[in-house]
Structure 1
Amino acid sequence: MNGFWNFIWLIFWSFAFVAYLMVLFTILADLFRDEKLNGWWKAVWVIFLIFAPFLTALVYLIARGRGMAERNARDRRTVPEDTDYYTHPTPSATPAADIEQAKALLDKGVISQNEFDALKAKALGNRF
């Protein structure tokens, strides 16, 4: 019976340690992501996280938790500008549908006339 409780304690402390590491890395990521905090304050937080980790993590979450949540929400809302997911038409079953999609992109100004001609040739050329 003693071995069973030792195993339960091992699981509990393993979970607590992994949870603490996740909090610690989240705090470090938030520190370096914060643009308003200057480098000296970041260094002070990191030093305190090294020498008094549990207390510093608790103080950081209490003092800066709201800003941490706002930065996380802001980062989730932003979409990278270099994604070309929105600018290329998805392939369809017929050449007419492909040309129609390309024409809609041309009318919106997303693609140029040369790009439209290339898409049209590709749609017609892949079918024969």
Structure 2
Amino acid sequence: MDDYPLLDLFLTMLWFFLWVLWLFLLFKVITDIFRDHSLNGWAKAGWLIFCILLPYLGVLVYVIARGKGMSRRDVEQAEESEAALQEYIRKTAGTGPGGGTGGHADELARLADLRDKGALTDEEFEKAKAKVLS
């Protein structure tokens, strides 16, 4: 332990964490290159080759040149994911786009209420129920 002072250990850890941070940034840039629909295939290939052959410079130039687009694409992807999740929840729960009207359970409850009030006969209720459940 005497031949590896505390400051050298700190500097080694700092360089290691900076290297890991750079790797995360490199993977983020490569992911963004493939996710960007505004780039054609040649532009994607050029950016990818630039980031692989000159990794530090390539990532730095990409972040400077296209950094705003990266954040915009991240926001768009998050919004699309949220919309898809909400649509899945609505579909699974059986509710319509209004968020609670139009589901099978709501429709059946409304039909039962109409039958109980005398607005529907039992025969009409059964036909409407079969239509809702089909």
TM range (shorter): 0.5 to 0.7
Residue among 23, 32, 35 paired with 2:34 = 32
SS of match in other structure, 1:102: helix
The TM-score with structure 2 as length reference comes to 0.64
Structure 2 Cα separation of the partners of residues 71 and 7 of structure 1: 39
Residue 124 (structure 2) pairs with residue 114 (structure 1): no
Residue 103 (structure 2) pairs with residue 103 (structure 1): no
Q: Which has the larger radius of gyration?
A: 2
Q: Point out which structure has higher relative CO (alpha carbons under 8 A, 6+ apart).
A: 1
Structure 1 Cα separation of the partners of residues 65 and 17 of structure 2: 25
Structure 2 stretches lacking a partner, 5+ long: 95-102, 111-130
Q: Residues 105 and 46 of structure 1: is their aligned pair in 2 closer, same or farther, counting only changes over 3 Å?
A: farther
The TM-score with structure 1 as length reference comes to 0.67
Once the two structures are TM-superposed, the CA of residue 9 in structure 1 deviates from its matched residue by 1.5
Q: Is the 8 A contact 2:104 2:133 kept in 1?
A: no
Once the two structures are TM-superposed, the CA of residue 101 in structure 1 deviates from its matched residue by 8.2
CA RMSD of aligned residues (A): 2.9
Q: Is the 8 A contact 2:108 2:132 kept in 1?
A: no
Q: Which residue does the alignment assign to 1:126?
A: none
Q: Give the count of matched residue pairs.
A: 102
Q: Which residue does the alignment assign to 1:73?
A: 75
Structure 1 stretches lacking a partner, 5+ long: 91-99, 116-128
Identity of aligned residues (%): 33
